[in-house]
Structure 1
Amino acid sequence: MTRRAKADVLIVGGGLGGVSAALTAARLGARVVLVEELDWLGGQLTAQGVPLDEHPWVELGVGSKSYLALRDAIREHYFRFYPVTPAARAEHPFNPGMGNVGTLCCEPKVAVRVIEALLGPYESRGLLTVMRGWRALAADVVGDRITGVAFAEVASGQRRTIEARIVVDATETGDLLELAGVEHVLGGEARIDTGEPNALDVADPFDQQAATWCMALDYLPDEDHTIEKPARYQEFRELKLDCWPNRQFHWTVSDHVTHKPLARRLFAGDTDAPYLFDLWHARRIAWRRNFAPGSYPSDISIANWPQMDYWLRPLVGVSAEAQAEALQECRQFSLAFLYWMQTEAPRLDGGQGYRGLRPRGDVLGTADGLAKQVYFREGRRIMAEFTVLEQHVGVSARPGADAAERFHDSVGIGAYRIDLHPPTSRARDTVDIDSFPFEIPLGALIPVRTDNLIPACKNIGTTRITSGAYRVHPVEWSIGEAAGALAATCSRLNLPPRAIRANARRLEDFQQLMMDLGAPIRWPVFGALTPSTRRGYRPPVTDHATAG
């Protein structure tokens, strides 16, 4: 028997975009149901184990106020419940792991607890219902509207259908677009269609960015935590990307801008210095010296390194059986690299292997040290009323310009390089180029046909090229915030999303609402932004040895 329930807003997917959408819609008084297949909310920050990738102005308070509140709450959680040393408390900004990809590298479990706390008041008020452990099976569609989505509980197989005025797709790979027959794009577009300098010569839906199955590790040099040798280890260790000078399981990779070799070993040395540009420090999520002596036996780091980029087969747009096989292969690929690090990696002292590397599944809520979910860098994208192109945000694609395109319908801001990891079509190079700090146009959140679906993460109207800049944590949060506000507004007014954008007064009112919520729709103009804005945004470390 299938149970049925109703809501103003149904959000399918509990990643950062889904969480942000749920918080915003509930804050505006909508009755919201948030459905997530996993037991953790937070997506790439938590279940996928990827520390925050952010723009360099985030500590200046530039960005969504609700996103900044999430960051503040993470730090406050550490200060209240962890034995943070007085010296670390005095540091500004406090960075729990002192990872060098950003100023807030934290443990995924901490982020999960904070997200739960943020959602709690809305659950208590009855505005928000969170269904964990439910998978979307099918969408009921009448004409150009989705009337409901059917779910199955992963553990029991129990069925439930949720009906809603507005449906938000916040799945990691745009799964609801496929289920509901919403027009979408997958993989790489052709240059003749988009005019983008870095687009493909011929469109290819299976030309998809590499995914990574991240893992958490600590290091106990006097112990041996070598894992069982993966069955396909020899095969994996011999693989070589066309654009890299050595085998993939190697410390030397290539800079995809200059094509010069770059050496990024695991450890640059054992030192008290908080920042070292090696693989270990890139996404370190717990620096033991930030906490009382004995609290952590070792630093803890997230392995999300270029040597783990899985490009052998596409993960999206294939059969369920093919996807399951590819996901299993991706897991084994990450474990194979761990085994190489434990047994063969050349050490600075002339030895081989770091046998003290210990998988920390407890950090990620798993048994084997791998994340609950693979890190998807791209998925299906809606065919939208407006599509963001490389010409709108890419520095080299905007000769003579000193900023990104200014969109009349902007509903948020973001900044990140156009960063595409090795594609499943490995015969060509990656894309890693400068982009300007950019805006999020409302038109990219509106499908060309479906009346009541809103995307809330990587599935907005970008191209394969521009998705490389719009996919990171703070941008996904801002997309979700705009999606949640749009969903609540359309539910209250009983209007389709396109009616908000099509009417100048409604659009102006909605943009004012976003600003009232604390979500800026334009980049501020002040001295701290000027030099980087002219050159295009570059993160602190610009090679793929640490880029996400």
Structure 2
Amino acid sequence: MTAQHADVLIIGGGLGGVAAALSALRRGRTVIITEEYPWLGGQLTSQAVPLDEHTWIEQFGATRSYRELRDGIRDHYRRLYPLTAAARREPTLNPGAGLVSRMCAEPRAAVAVIDGLLAPHISSGRLRVLHGVRAVAAVRDGDLVTSVDVEDATRGIRTTLSATIVLDATETGELLPLANIEHVTGFESRHDTGEPSAPDEAQPENQQAFSWCFVIDHIEGEDHTIERPDDYDRWRTLQPEFWGAPMISLTGPDPRTLEIFTRTFTPTIDDDPLAQLADQRADGGDRELWTFRRILARRLLEPGTIDSDIVLVNWPMIDYIGGTLTGPEPSKHLEAAKQQSRAMLYWLQTEAPRPDGGTGWPGLRLRGDVTGTHDGFAQAPYIRESRRIKAEYTVVEQDLSIELRGHGKPKQYDDTVGVGMYRIDLHPSTGGDNYLDIASSPFEIPLGALIPVRVDNVIPAGKNIGTTHITNGAFRLHPVEWNIGESAGALAAFCIERSLAPRQVRADPCLLDEFQSQLARQGVELHWPDVTGY
């Protein structure tokens, strides 16, 4: 067994982990970051999901480094792709013209930008990236985590990693049980949180669905139909009580109103991508599934460049509610989620209704070259809910809900370390709950939600902060995860420079003010602007 040490150890290379690494590195710290999959970037890359963002993202409500990421993706297309003259002139270019976000793009574009942001730090020797490893053990000495063992599953090699400050940026809060750090999963009880939408009793195994996404295009006249899945009949007839139709179909509940309706799916659509504008306040954008999460629009490129739009399938029909990844048999549920997605693809290729009265789109082609896999599916499942620390401050429904607060103005905290905005958007759950959609106000990220109640040198850097099952539905999206990670990395560096524990920074008004001032100087927005229209 080998050993490595750095100032900051980041377990997990998702968006929060990347942002944390950049933040600590830019403050002169040495960093080790681990990642299970080939690509850094988590939900944006290995999970293949384009950015989910709020309406005002082009003006405010994100950190400066997050804007570097977004600008870098746009520049990637401007430098390397034969854009049309009109697309090249568009200052807020949306490469996919998808309706879920004003920045829908291929995962490889994000990989290129992330790798570029980290490259000088790798060259300096201050950043070490360990790919293909997963945390398997942790050692605690009192209230300090002294080391974490990671294992390369392919070669069976273990490495012991140590650091002054350890960040958990994994997708499911994997370090928390390994280090015996107090945490929760699933639904908290109304008695514990006071949340009106919470159940009477805690439901730790009742968690949001996760999804195994895939990428497709459509080549008319060709047949790319996959082999019929062995368990296709089972998936084809699966129908939760609240769904209103088999899940493997185009019919299901509206996430906001719960009204049962049928979506359209038109691979031959010939829209004007520059006329599309994503606005999640007004419309979820999922009425037409081909444009919903489109990640490259054919008509933004010179004619003949590509034969089809490229589309990510991350739709309600592939939400897996058969079990969790934090309970027993996670590998069983991972495989089942992929089988559900495979069944959806086969249905699209063979049974989906066409405008001409026919059925099936055999020209739908899996694009494993886009996802970086042999089977055409994303490298990793798209995970919406993590284990969450028991924190010094837990964000609850009452902090976000416009109905409960009586207005839509931003919630403010004295210990703010960033901002975020999204509706409380909970997908169907493993406990049989339908969508839960709650209009929420813009919010700040309280430092108290990043401080575990007991352990002194561990900071969460993703979806594992002190939120509830309900408020996680607003905090789990890309720009918020990035801001959490960036502030966690900055906090780690600040504590190392001054030989402090993170909780000491929050407890001392002078230290807190100094830390917040540093965040502001590096481009972290601590408050929302005073504008109307929230």
1:319-363 CA distance string (max 9 Å, x none) = 3xx111110000000000111111111111111111111000110
Aligned with 1:58: secondary structure?
coil
Alignment of 1:119-518 (within 5 A): 119-267=118-266, 270-274=269-273, 275=276, 277-316=287-326, 318-319=327-328, 322-398=329-405, 400-426=406-432, 428-518=433-523
CA distance in 2, matches of 1:78, 1:483: 31
Aligned with 2:323: secondary structure?
coil
Question: How far off its partner does 1:268 sit?
Answer: 8.2
Aligned with 2:437: secondary structure?
strand
CA distance in 1, matches of 2:97, 2:379: 23
Asked whether the 8 Å contact 2:10–2:31 carries over to 1, the reply is: yes
Query: Following superposition, which runs of at least 4 residues in structure 1 exceed 3 angstroms of deviation?
Result: none
* Structure 2 residue identity aligned to 1:391: Q
Question: How far off its partner does 1:262 sit?
Answer: 2.4
Asked whether the 8 Å contact 2:272–2:299 carries over to 1, the reply is: no
Question: How far off its partner does 1:260 sit?
Answer: 2.0
The range that moved more, 295-304 or 123-132, is 123-132
Asked whether the 8 Å contact 1:96–1:104 carries over to 2, the reply is: yes
TM-score by length of 1: 0.94
Question: How far off its partner does 1:30 sit?
Answer: 0.8
Match of 1:541 in 2: none
Asked whether the 8 Å contact 2:248–2:343 carries over to 1, the reply is: no
Could you tell me which runs of 5 or more consecutive residues in structure 2 were left unpaired when the two chains were aligned: 277-284
Match of 2:281 in 1: none
Asked whether the 8 Å contact 2:218–2:267 carries over to 1, the reply is: no
CA distance in 1, matches of 2:438, 2:241: 19
CA distance in 1, matches of 2:5, 2:61: 37
Question: How far off its partner does 1:256 sit?
Answer: 4.0
Could you tell me which runs of 5 or more consecutive residues in structure 1 were left unpaired when the two chains were aligned: 534-548
Asked whether the 8 Å contact 1:344–1:353 carries over to 2, the reply is: yes
Alignment of 1:526-545 (within 5 A): 526=531, 530-531=532-533, 533=534
Aligned with 2:58: secondary structure?
helix
Question: How far off its partner does 1:415 sit?
Answer: 0.3
1:3-60 CA distance string (max 9 Å, x none) = 1121110000000000000000000111111111111000000000101000111112
The range that moved more, 125-134 or 375-384, is 125-134
* Structure 2 residue identity aligned to 1:111: A
Match of 1:537 in 2: none
CA distance in 1, matches of 2:268, 2:306: 19
- Percent same amino acid among aligned pairs? 51
CA-atom RMSD in angstroms: 1.2
1:85-143 CA distance string (max 9 Å, x none) = 22210123111111111111110011111100000111122221111111111111101
Match of 1:27 in 2: 26
CA distance in 1, matches of 2:290, 2:45: 19
Question: How far off its partner does 1:201 sit?
Answer: 2.2
Asked whether the 8 Å contact 1:37–1:133 carries over to 2, the reply is: yes
Question: How far off its partner does 1:61 sit?
Answer: 4.1
Aligned with 2:358: secondary structure?
coil
Asked whether the 8 Å contact 2:144–2:456 carries over to 1, the reply is: yes
Match of 1:538 in 2: none
1:450-501 CA distance string (max 9 Å, x none) = 0000000000000000000000000000000010000111111111100000
Asked whether the 8 Å contact 2:14–2:43 carries over to 1, the reply is: yes
Question: How far off its partner does 1:151 sit?
Answer: 1.2
Asked whether the 8 Å contact 2:266–2:288 carries over to 1, the reply is: yes
Aligned with 1:397: secondary structure?
helix
Asked whether the 8 Å contact 1:136–1:150 carries over to 2, the reply is: yes
Aligned with 1:150: secondary structure?
strand
CA distance in 2, matches of 1:38, 1:257: 33
Q: Does 1:524 align with 2:529?
A: yes
CA distance in 2, matches of 1:315, 1:396: 32
* Structure 2 residue identity aligned to 1:437: P
CA distance in 1, matches of 2:411, 2:73: 33
Aligned with 2:295: secondary structure?
strand
* Structure 2 residue identity aligned to 1:18: G
Asked whether the 8 Å contact 1:17–1:478 carries over to 2, the reply is: yes
Asked whether the 8 Å contact 1:61–1:68 carries over to 2, the reply is: no
